[in-house]
Amino acid sequence: MVQDESGTPAHRKLDKVQWSFAAEDKSFKGKVQESVLKDGKVENKWVNVRPIPESNLWFETAWADFRAGKIYK
């Protein structure tokens, strides 16, 4: 969310100057920003999102299997 006092108010009971936001820029849909620290400077780049892997593992069950030595040996 990008604060913009001339944008859309978040709610009628909130202060318009502090709680208004710019409209969504749809050109960023499907992208994430990657940031790295290189030689003391921050470098940013936009990359396409990767699809969510298909898996029937939930964190809790995968973690329990990992701790039991059943997966990721």
Please state the domain extents for the chain. Answer: 1-26
Tokens for 53? 């892997």
| Reported confidence tier of residue 27, pLDDT bands at 50, 70, 90 | very high
pLDDT at 38: 95
pLDDT at 34 > cutoff 70: yes
41-72: pLDDT as tens digits: 999 999 999 998 787 778 888 889 889 988 76
Task: Return phi, psi of residue 8, to 5°.
Answer: -85, 125
CA–CA separation, 29 and 50 (whole Å): 12
* Predicted model pTM: 0.49
User: Strands 3-9 and 31-38, how do they pair?
Assistant: unpaired
CA–CA separation, 51 and 32 (whole Å): 12
